[in-house]
Amino acid sequence: MVQIFNARQTGGIKPVFSWKLRGDENQRIYRIQVSGEKGNTVWDSGNVESDERHNIPCPIQLEKEQKYNWSIYVMGEKSGEDTAEGDAFLTEISKWEAKWMEPDRIRKPIIDSTQPVQPKGRCERPQDGLEKLDEAVYMRKTFLLQECPKSALLYAASHGIYSIWVNGHQVSDLFAPGNTSYKKHIDYQIYDVAKYLQHGKNVICVVLADGWYTGKIGAVGIGQQFGSENAILFQLSVIGQNGTKETIMSDEDMKWSDGAIRYADLYVGEYYDANYEKEGWLETDYDDHSWRPVRVNPDGYEQLVRQSIPAIRETRMIRPTVLQTPKGELLLDAGENIVGYTSFELTLNKGDIISLEHSETIDKDGNYIQNIIGQNKNQTDYYVAKDAGNHCFKPQFSFHGFRYVRVKGTTDTDPSHYQIHVIETPLRDTGTFRCSDERLNKLQENILRSQKGNLISIPTDCPQRERTGWTGDMQVYARTGCYEQDIEMFLRHWLRDMEHEQLPDGQIPHIVPYMPSHDIMKPPGLEGVSAAGWSDAAVIVPWRLYEAYGDKQILRECFPMMKRYMDATKRMAAERPEGYDEMSPDRQKWQKYLWNTGFQYGDWLMPSIQMSGRSIFEVVTETGYIIASVYYALTTDIMRQVCMALGETKLEKEYEDLNTKIREAFAKEYINEDGTMKKDYQGVYVTALAAGCVPEEKKKAALDRLETLIQENDNRLDTGFLSVPYLLPVLHKNGRKELANTLLFQDKCPSWLYEVKMGATTMWEYWNGYAEDGTPSDGSMNHFAFGCVGEYLYRTILGITPLTPGYQEVLIQPDTTCGLNFVEGSFETIWGTIEVSWKLDGKKVKLNLTVPPDVTAKVVLNDYIKTVGCGTYHIETCQ
């Protein structure tokens, strides 16, 4: 029996097709058929004898501005068969002709501070957004159609974010066009709107808000980073009943007005004053003669690309608990730290102002506080009632990272009058993990919640403060991320922007998309800086995707960026470090193999420094160069493997040689005779061991020292950003598995289970996000980075490790001595789902395993070692 599931395509004129299988037989044959709207077959692969089923390219180029259907047929080795209809998909626009239209207005001057970090998280006065921010822009265009069309596709993009209505029907995605490297890349969206159009007069209405383009984004919170004004671009392609084509587009015929949204900023919030509502403005016969003219923005179309990732959506609704704080304030509690917004339905009087302030935390007494540092991070929405009666409100152009909402302006405590809406980029969940320790189950939930909250258009560090594509965060987290959800296309989309942001000399910035205001945060003299562990994402993230999804195309796509970046790193490493002239000639020789120049974060947020109250930048001086050099070894080794996968034999050898020299230089420069490190920190041992920088003869001593450091630290970790992902795997792999598990189950701060013990519902930025007495820190409560321990749960505790990229060969070797009684979980690979559950029964271990078609699993369970193909297995051994 074979059964197809999760059949999907990437859309566009060059789609790739994928599906997965369940069943007890391997795939022998597949057949893909693509058909046009009339049912005419445009491509038929015929019967292909192959086990392939991931990212199969369509060999012909499909037509633009079309809707296609496709189906997949599979026959198994034992002649089981199945057919599935994939989702219909749309293709690119043929030719842009529309004009970028913007309101003819003068924007308010920027009065924000240029200080990188503002001590206060809020505007001084509650409503000063009105002074700093401009109104959302309402635009209209009416047009006539001679008949009801047969088909109609609307293509749209914007500077800023937009909503579009066709004859009163909202057709657009949330927060479109998303967050990309706007100077080089703007996604456009395609909407099938035929059913909303009519014979006679029609109207397209638009609201434009600041979004990421002109909004107050990033750590610094200064607006207009990519341009000073918002603009809309849309083109409607209408095909009449007899095949005639007509195009309606954004142009000078449009008009604009301000309206009820007095401002809308992703970070600051939205201010909706119903007194400014334009009654009936979405209707065709609305009288807009008093609306103002629009002007053309001369931008072209070079940046425009059909959106290839799912649009952001509301995925869940939460009915909050309504509380009264000790101070007597009205507080909504979502019960979990989420990303989204709040809506209400309240009875109000004319002129009532409702404010909704969002925060991740309350203080230890239960009162509302804002924990977030930085300017313009208010996360506050306002609604002004224009008359007495029932009023509904939901913001459209702002979202927040929060658990609690302070509501002012009403005393209504009925929970059914409030709703919390959770938003996500809807990516498929691919991992499950459950075990006999509820605390680990909670940790797993928190990891996934943080991932979902931060994959909003791009991978962000956190969803409430910077909301920025910090490259280091995804670099450390990517492996875990790939277990939890299908993030292949999402990260490929982001990696394209990473390439867009690559500097001419090959350097990669710390944030992608880049925003000019970030320059303010750079140390003087280090413009265009790369930093190990962050910029290294250019090499590590594509490799993680290849490990998880096995598609060499990912590597091919990224290879030019990776190579140019490594060339730049080589140059930077080769620069002479401080004190070079005083070094012995011998020592001077190996300096070029150490990355000991420029700005380096080092083992960022190392707990003993971060929690001590000392400057977090101490970690830079303490560990910057030693950790950068280890990462240089890690990335050159990955490049060796990339070149091997791509058949770049000459380069493979070059990276191999370079890697050897780096490891040798590291050992000479940083490792003492007795195997201890010149910088005696846990993270240094962990990463040096992970990168193979510790010579064999010193390995035991280094491991012993690492063990001692952990023990002296009361069996607690002291690893920062760049070493945390390697901590448990390094200990486990090197014969210290009890210690690895002690750290996993540790619940004193800093530890993963401390967060769980303190009631976390997401992963924190700081290990001491809350003090023991419940006092919150000013760090973010929703940073996925330290959730990278998820990899250990899936690989070592559940026991699913790939032996080949894409998991066609997999090792099933759970650690049944880790202290748990049972573990069950699964991982949906590109082939199908691997399911594992094990439990202890007295001295026995019982393992259930399901291996999907075309996957072979090597099972190692105590003395049981066997390689099996697809099917379901029940294995029993003694501990």
Q: Which stretch binds ligand BGC (CB under 6 A): 48-56, 161-169, 470-478, 854-862?
A: 470-478
Cβ contact 269:216 at 8 Å: no
Q: Which is nearer to ligand BGC, 230 or 464 (CB)?
A: 464
- CB of residue 616 to ligand BGC, shortest distance in Å: 9
Residues pairing with 433 in the sheet:
825
- CB of residue 468 to ligand BGC, shortest distance in Å: 7
Q: Which is nearer to ligand BGC, 452 or 783 (CB)?
A: 783
652 binding ligand BGC? (CB under 6 A)? no
606 binding ligand BGC? (CB under 6 A)? no
Which residue in this structure is represented by tokens 């009875």? 347
- CB of residue 786 to ligand BGC, shortest distance in Å: 10
Q: Which stretch binds ligand BGC (CB under 6 A): 96-104, 226-234, 262-270, 462-470?
A: 462-470
Q: Which is nearer to ligand BGC, 189 or 530 (CB)?
A: 530
Cβ contact 717:607 at 8 Å: yes
Length of the chain: 879
CA–CA distance, 361 with 325 (Å, rounded to integer): 13
Tell me the one-letter amino acid at 449. Answer: R
- CB of residue 370 to ligand BGC, shortest distance in Å: 17
Q: Which stretch binds ligand BGC (CB under 6 A): 97-105, 353-361, 466-474, 851-859?
A: 466-474
Helix-then-strand count for the chain, H and E: 17, 42
Q: Which stretch binds ligand BGC (CB under 6 A): 6-14, 386-394, 464-472, 658-666?
A: 464-472
Helix (H) or strand (E) holding 196, with range, is: none
- CB of residue 217 to ligand BGC, shortest distance in Å: 14
Q: Which is nearer to ligand BGC, 281 or 604 (CB)?
A: 604
Chain residues 785-844 in contact with ligand BGC, contact rule CB under 6 A? 785
In this structure, what token pair is assigned to residue 747? 């619940």
Residues pairing with 858 in the sheet:
811, 867
Q: Which is nearer to ligand BGC, 276 or 617 (CB)?
A: 617
CA–CA distance, 378 with 370 (Å, rounded to integer): 9
Q: Which is nearer to ligand BGC, 374 or 550 (CB)?
A: 374
Helix (H) or strand (E) holding 596, with range, is: none
Q: Is 466 an active-site residue?
A: yes
DSSP output for 31-93 = EEEEE-TTS-EEEE---EE----SSEEPSSPPPSS-EEEEEEEEEETTS-EEEEEPPPEE---
Q: Which stretch binds ligand BGC (CB under 6 A): 21-29, 245-253, 469-477, 557-565?
A: 469-477
472 binding ligand BGC? (CB under 6 A)? yes
CA–CA distance, 585 with 392 (Å, rounded to integer): 75
Q: Which is nearer to ligand BGC, 102 or 466 (CB)?
A: 466
- Per DSSP, the three-state class of 720 is coil
In this structure, what token pair is assigned to residue 798? 């559940």
Query: SS3 helix, strand, coil % of the chain, rounded to 5?
Result: 25, 30, 45
- Give the start-end residues of each E strand in 130-283: 137-145, 151-159, 161-166, 169-170, 186-192, 200-209, 231-239, 245-249, 255-257, 261-265, 269-273
Q: For residue 577, what is the DSSP state? A: P
In this structure, what token pair is assigned to residue 433? 């993990």
Instruction: Choose, from 25, 65, 466, 648, the residue flagged as catalytic.
Output: 466
466 binding ligand BGC? (CB under 6 A)? yes
Instruction: Choose, from 102, 357, 501, 765, the residue flagged as catalytic.
Output: 765
- CB of residue 651 to ligand BGC, shortest distance in Å: 30
Q: Which is nearer to ligand BGC, 207 or 478 (CB)?
A: 478
Q: Which is nearer to ligand BGC, 466 or 622 (CB)?
A: 466
Cβ contact 644:671 at 8 Å: no
Work out which of 462, 606, 639, 724 binds ligand BGC, going by CB under 6 A: 462
470 binding ligand BGC? (CB under 6 A)? yes
767 binding ligand BGC? (CB under 6 A)? no
256 binding ligand BGC? (CB under 6 A)? no
- CB of residue 596 to ligand BGC, shortest distance in Å: 19
Per-residue x/- marks for ligand BGC, 564-603, CB under 6 A? -------------------------------------x--
604 binding ligand BGC? (CB under 6 A)? yes
CA–CA distance, 364 with 492 (Å, rounded to integer): 42
- CB of residue 780 to ligand BGC, shortest distance in Å: 6
514 binding ligand BGC? (CB under 6 A)? no
473 binding ligand BGC? (CB under 6 A)? yes
- CB of residue 440 to ligand BGC, shortest distance in Å: 24
Produce one character per residue of 758-773: b if its CB has 16 or more CB atoms within 10 Å, e if not: bebbbbbbbbbbbeee
Q: Residue 845 half-sphere exposure, CB side, CA atoms within 13 Å? A: 23
Q: Is 765 an active-site residue?
A: yes
Residue 110: Cβ within 10 Å count = 12
DSSP output for 598-650 = S----STT-HHHHTTTS-TTHHHHHHHHHHHHHHHHHHHHHHHHHHHHHT-HH
622 binding ligand BGC? (CB under 6 A)? no
Work out which of 25, 229, 461, 501 binds ligand BGC, going by CB under 6 A: 461
In this structure, what token pair is assigned to residue 258? 């301000």
Q: Which is nearer to ligand BGC, 276 or 599 (CB)?
A: 599
- CB of residue 601 to ligand BGC, shortest distance in Å: 5
Site for ligand BGC, rule CB under 6 A: 461-462, 466, 470, 472-473, 601, 604, 783, 785
> Known catalytic residues?
466, 765
